[in-house]
Amino acid sequence: MTRKIFTLIGAGSTVFTPGLLKDLVNSKSSDNFEVRLYDINYESAEIMARVGTRIASNNGSKMTVTAFANRRDAIKNSDFITTTIAVGSAAGWKADLEIPRKYGIHQTVADSVGPGGVLRALRHIPQLVSIAEDVSELAPNAWFINYSNPLTANVRAISKYTDVKVIGLCHGTMHTRSKLLSDLGIESEGTHAIFAGINHLCWLIDLKRGSKNLYPELIAAVKKAAGNISSDTNRDEGIHSPVSADLFETFGLYPAPGDRHVAEFFSGYLKLRANGDLKWGLQGGLDMTEEYIGQKHDLWEELKGQASGVMPIADRDNQEAERLVSITEALISGENHLELAVNMPNEGKISNLPSNAIVEVPAIIGGNGIHGISIGVLPAGIAAVLTQRIHQQEITVEAARTVDRRLAIQALYMDPLVANYETAKSILDDAVAYAPETMSGFKE
């Protein structure tokens, strides 16, 4: 086997990067892997490289892990490019929650849709397209695999403005599948599930074990278990989740991946109770997001200890990294691999959504590349919701690429959570004031 080069851009990711290094080193081909780490903060990449070198040594692998100070040097001749960048870091994500909150908009995650998702896209798309342009020049045969949110808008921008081979990955549908089966008391092995839609609003269109249709069992279980919309605080998705149950009843298919994501696509769920908490059990989802943002500093201190050898290498599962390694192994070996959910250009895979949209569908990966499975049509109501969102994201992508203030305000105003033009304008102006280094082009 020839040496394969994996380049990770955004190597300072405190969860993903260690998980990827562990899963790469556990691959049967790891002795032939060269891992390159790049981050705008070189110290972060260097710390992760030392962690990766320890992981390889502990596992008896010849895999090499090297930090790069120059992005183009890291990309050159790579076979796989993975992006996990976070423009603005944790503080920027926090601002994506807090700026809309000033105007009565209470999001639970703010990384995909809603005004927070639009602001995040305006920051991320220029950087990701720039990376993709380098890939096109320096590693034209590489696969570009993006994890950075907002996943749909980011992958659309890369596919629209460059010629690289790009997909997006997110573990959300996988987690929903596992949780629903667990709640139903059904073994995962031998179970077949199909999800289709767009990232963070994907729909379970088929669930079987052998030839047995499991949807009737799911319907009955959800009706029995769905939680109270006004008082329950929900941190864990599953059949008890009230927003998902409500959407299930409304549209006839079960949504993924959990209430805190799917609620942001609609205007009615993110309301406050009298005590100031979110209704529909969504306060738990917001609490999880804010806690995760706040944990970044502690995770870095732990990783510094691992890099220096003072602390043992932590053993944390990372489903995303595991999936990436499975996909790259299939591309390398040519042995077909079925992936539950890949974000890629639609091109008719969901026939009643725009052809140029980025959709989340199952895919076959192997020697011939990555090929999405055609799903056919989605129910008309679901297609209408997704189509509106796809058009909004297309405007967001163009606004980010052209740095067009008018289009950015349009993208914000089109979001169901934004009540009027003045609110959209104020949110954009506050974002510019908060991060002029990345948002000054949108200044009035």
* Residue 357: pLDDT over 90: yes
97 part of a folded domain:
yes
Please compute the mean of the pLDDT values over residues 152-159 and round it to a whole number.
Answer: 98
φ, ψ dihedrals at 66, nearest 5° = -135, 135
147 part of a folded domain:
yes
221 part of a folded domain:
no
| 171 closest CA partner among 147, 155, 153, 188 | 147
Domain CATH for 39: 3.40.50.720
Please compute the mean of the pLDDT values over residues 53-59 and round it to a whole number.
Answer: 90
- Helices 319-333 and 16-25, axial angle in degrees (round to 10): 40
In the structure, what pLDDT confidence band is assigned to residue 226 with cuts at 50, 70 and 90?
confident
Give the DSSP per-residue string, 71-84: HHHHHTT-SEEEE-
Count of structural domains, the chain: 1
The pLDDT score that the predictor gives to residue 19 is 85
Which residues contact residue 37 at a Cβ distance below 8 angstroms, ignoring those fewer than 6 apart? Answer: 7, 8, 11, 17, 45, 48, 49, 52, 65, 66, 67, 68, 74
How are the residues of the chain apportioned to helix, strand and coil, as percentages rounded to the nearest 5?
50, 15, 35
Range of the domain at 40: 4-169
Instruction: Give residue-wise pLDDT tens across range 162-207.
Output: 999 999 999 999 999 999 999 999 998 899 999 999 999 999 999 9
The pLDDT score that the predictor gives to residue 294 is 81
24 part of a folded domain:
yes
348 part of a folded domain:
no
241 part of a folded domain:
no
Instruction: Give residue-wise pLDDT tens across range 11-22.
Output: 888 778 888 898
258 part of a folded domain:
no
70 part of a folded domain:
yes
Q: Are 396 and 415 in contact (CB under 8 A)?
A: no
Residue 42 exposed, middle or buried by CB count within 10 Å (0-12, 13-18, 19+)? middle
Q: Are 354 and 388 in contact (CB under 8 A)?
A: no
Q: Are 94 and 100 in contact (CB under 8 A)?
A: no
Above pLDDT 90, what percent of the chain?
81
* Residue 296: pLDDT over 70: no
